[in-house]
Chains A and B, each alone.
Chain A
Amino acid sequence: MKYILMMHGKKADWDEYTRWSKEDLQRNVDYMRSFSKELNDGGVFVDTKGLALPHEAKIVRAGQNGEPVTDGVFPESKEFLAGYWVIDVETPEQAYKIAARASAAPGPGGKPANMPIEVRQVLGTHSDLGF
C-alpha cells in the first residue's frame, strides 16, 4: 500500500524556518537525508520532494474561454504543502511509525520539531480511483 506523508506550514511557519541558524538547518537537512536513505535501504521509499516557498504559490481557475485566471492571495491561515514522502508499506501502522520518524526531525537547538505529519493513502492515477 502506498502512502503519502505530508508536511504543511503556514506562511508564518515558513518565515520562521528561514530564520533558523545555519547549524540548525544543516542538522535538520542531514536528518532528512539519512531518513530518506534509510527508507530507501528498507525498500519502502518511492519519492520525496520539497516545495518552493508559498510566496510563489498561485491558485489557478479557468476563465470564460478556458484561459487561466491566477490569484496569489491566500488567507494567512492557509496551510501550504511544504514537502512530502511517498512510501510503499505493508500496513497503515508502518506508515504511522515512519511518519513519527519524520515528525522527530530536529528543529532549533537540535530538539525534535514534533511537526504534525499528515498520512494519506495513495490510490493510483486519478482515473483509477473508481468513485
Chain B
Amino acid sequence: MKYILLMSGTKAGVDTYRAWSKKDIDGHMAVLASLNRELTESGEFVVTQGLAGPHEAKLVRGLADGMPVTDGIFPESKEFLLGYWIIDVATPERACEIAARISTAPGPGGIPTNMPIEVRQFAIHVPQS
C-alpha cells in the first residue's frame, strides 16, 4: 500500500530552519539521505520531493474566461507543504515507523526535531467514466 508522508511548516518555522548553522543542516540532510538509501534498498522508496519556500507560494483561481487570478497572501498560521515522501509499504504501522524516523532527523545541536509528519493514504476508489 502506498502512503504519502507530508512535512509541513509555517513561514516562521521555515525562517527558523533557514537560520540553522551549516553543520546542523548538513547533519539533518545526511540522516534524511541515509533514510532514502535505506528505503531504496528495502524496495519501499517511491519518490521524495522538496518544495520551494512558502514565500514564493501562490494561490490561483480561474476567472469565467479561464484567466488565472493569483494571490500570494496567506494567514500566518498556514501550514505550507515543505516536502514529501511517497512510500510503498506492507502495513500502515510500517508507514508510521518511517514517519517517526523522519521525525527523529536531527535539528540544531544534533537534537531530534521531533517534527510532526502527516501520514496519508492515496484514494483507492475513483468512479469510472
Residues from chain A with Cβ under 8 Å of B123 in the complex: 49-53, 83
A4–B4 alpha-carbon span in the complex (Å): 15
Size of interface on A: residues with Cβ below 8 Å to B: 61
Is A60 at the interface (CB under 8 A from chain B)?
Answer: yes
Is B50 at the interface (CB under 8 A from chain A)?
Answer: yes
Interface string of A70-111 (1 = CB under 8 A from B): 100000001111010010000010001101111110000000
Interface of chain A, main secondary structure: mixed
Which partner residue on chain B sits nearest A67 by CB separation? B100
Interface string of A1-30 (1 = CB under 8 A from B): 000111000000000000000100110011
A104 touches B66 (CB 8 A): yes
A131–B61 alpha-carbon span in the complex (Å): 30
Residues from chain A with Cβ under 8 Å of B117 in the complex: 59-61
Residues from chain B with Cβ under 8 Å of A96 in the complex: 58, 60, 68, 70
Which partner residue on chain B sits nearest A94 by CB separation? B68
Size of interface on B: residues with Cβ below 8 Å to A: 59
Interface of chain B, main secondary structure: mixed
Residues from chain B with Cβ under 8 Å of A53 in the complex: 123
A68–B50 alpha-carbon span in the complex (Å): 23
A121 touches B56 (CB 8 A): yes
B68 touches A100 (CB 8 A): yes
A96–B69 alpha-carbon span in the complex (Å): 8
A119 touches B58 (CB 8 A): yes
Of B36, B54, B58, B101, the residue contacting A127 (CB under 8 A) is: B36
The smallest beta-carbon distance between A87 and chain B, in angstroms, is 12
The smallest beta-carbon distance between A69 and chain B, in angstroms, is 7
- Given A60-B117, A70-B96, A99 and B60 contact (CB-CB distance below 8 Å): yes
Contact surface of B with A, Cβ cutoff 8 Å: 4, 6, 17-18, 20, 25, 29, 32-33, 36, 48-52, 54, 56-64, 66-71, 78-81, 83, 93, 96-97, 99-101, 103-104, 112, 114-124, 126-127, 129
- A-B contacts, 27 of them at CB < 8 A, read A4-B51, A29-B126, A49-B123, A51-B4, A51-B121, A51-B123, A59-B118, A61-B103, A62-B104, A68-B96, A68-B100, A96-B58, A100-B68, A100-B69, A101-B62, A101-B66, A112-B64, A114-B61, A115-B61, A118-B57, A118-B59, A118-B60, A121-B52, A123-B51, A124-B50, A131-B20, A131-B25
